[in-house]
């Protein structure tokens, strides 16, 4: 190996190490703080000290009006419904955008992308007024419907790029063999699009799981997701933030996302790369 190649490898590994440390350092410190005794909350030791699991028990304790367990179920419900509806609408819309030829198709796709760039803070007041007037304030649909509108641009754009690179000759061969348009789509094209669909579903679920702004204004104690529940955590002592319990709750919230990515990492990689290769 030449000196130039050696230094190139060193720079590559240093860059990867920097990205890993930059991405994982906040999560590592959150885990360290979640395992630390309340009296040593602000200890700056970079490894776990005064380890205790009381913070995880306190996160699920309801004596201080913290209903973290119920909020977890709320987030799962909101995320699943948002993902399922977003995928159903997004798959058909992306298929039409990729397969059909009609006037203004690129303009429509541009409007869809523009909708994803609209600042969420500008929507809080009109959504609050709308859902209050129709009696939906504090309901699940008041959070699910805005979440669907947020994930649809991501779903449509990602799947449109994926569908465009699929071998349409297979659909035409199925039609020649006597399959209807619906059968060709559901039995041929949709199974081939599974990597892209799974990848998009994971991204949509994560986006819904992490949503805070709209939920903080439109939810109540019974319907609030974990992002809002953690922000509203109260401790046993007034005017004292329960940082260790908050860090424990944040660790618990992050674990499902990590497990989901680890379980579907091959699907994610396939979905992100298959759309860039002509089949």
Q: Per residue of the chain (279 residues), give pLDDT as tens.
A: 677 778 888 888 999 899 989 988 999 999 999 999 988 888 888 898 899 999 999 889 888 888 899 999 999 999 999 999 999 999 999 988 888 888 888 888 888 888 888 888 888 999 999 999 999 999 999 999 999 999 999 899 888 888 888 888 888 888 888 888 888 888 888 888 888 888 889 889 999 999 999 999 999 989 999 999 998 888 766 677 888 989 999 999 988 788 877 777 776 666 555 544 444
How much is the pLDDT for 87? 93
Which of 152-180 are b and which e, b meaning 16 or more Cβ less than 10 Å from the residue's Cβ? bbbbbbbbbebbeebeeeebeebeeeebe
pTM, two decimal places:
0.85
In whole angstroms, give the CA distance from residue 242 to residue 233: 7
Pick the CATH number of 60-274 from 1.10.3720.10, 3.40.50.300, 3.30.420.40, 3.30.1490.20: 1.10.3720.10
Q: How far is CA 156 from CA 152, 160, 202, 256, 267, in A?
A: 6, 6, 14, 25, 18
How much is the pLDDT for 80? 95
Residue of 195, 202, 103, 211 whose CA lies nearest to 149: 211
| Chain mean position to CA 266 | 18
How much is the pLDDT for 238? 66
How much is the pLDDT for 279? 44
How much is the pLDDT for 277? 46
Cβ contacts of 261 within 8 Å, gap of 6 or more: 202, 268
Residue of 7, 8, 10, 29 whose CA lies nearest to 18: 10
In whole angstroms, give the CA distance from residue 25 to residue 205: 24
């Amino acid at each position: 190996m030449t000196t130039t190649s050696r230094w190139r490898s060193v720079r590559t590994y240093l860059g990867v190490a920097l990205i890993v440390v930059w991405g994982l350092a906040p999560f590592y410190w959150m885990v360290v703080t979640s395992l630390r005794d309340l009296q040593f909350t602000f200890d700056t030791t970079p490894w776990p000290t005064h380890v205790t699991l009381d913070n995880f028990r306190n996160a699920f304790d309801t004596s201080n009006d913290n209903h973290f367990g119920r909020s977890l179920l709320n987030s799962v419900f909101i995320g699943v419904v948002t993902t399922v509806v977003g995928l159903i609408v997004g798959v058909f819309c992306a298929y039409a955008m990729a397969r059909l030829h009609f006037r203004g198709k690129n303009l429509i796709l541009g409007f869809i992308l523009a909708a994803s760039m609209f600042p969420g803070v500008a929507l809080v007041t009109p959504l609050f007024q709308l859902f209050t007037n129709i009696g939906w304030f504090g309901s699940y649909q008041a959070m699910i419907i805005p979440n669907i509108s947020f994930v649809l641009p991501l779903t449509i754009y990602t799947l449109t790029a994926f569908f465009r690179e699929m071998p349409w000759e297979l659909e035409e061969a199925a039609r020649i063999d006597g399959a209807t348009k619906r059968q060709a789509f559901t039995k041929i094209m949709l199974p081939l699009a599974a990597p892209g669909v799974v990848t998009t579903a994971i991204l949509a679920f994560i986006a819904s799981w992490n949503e805070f702004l709209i939920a903080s204004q439109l939810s109540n104690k019974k319907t609030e997701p974990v992002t809002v529940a953690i922000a509203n955590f109260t401790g046993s002592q007034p005017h004292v933030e329960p940082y260790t319990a908050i860090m424990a709750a944040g660790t618990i919230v992050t674990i499902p996302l990590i497990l989901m990515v680890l379980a579907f990492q091959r699907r994610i990689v396939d979905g992100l790369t298959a759309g860039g290769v002509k089949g």
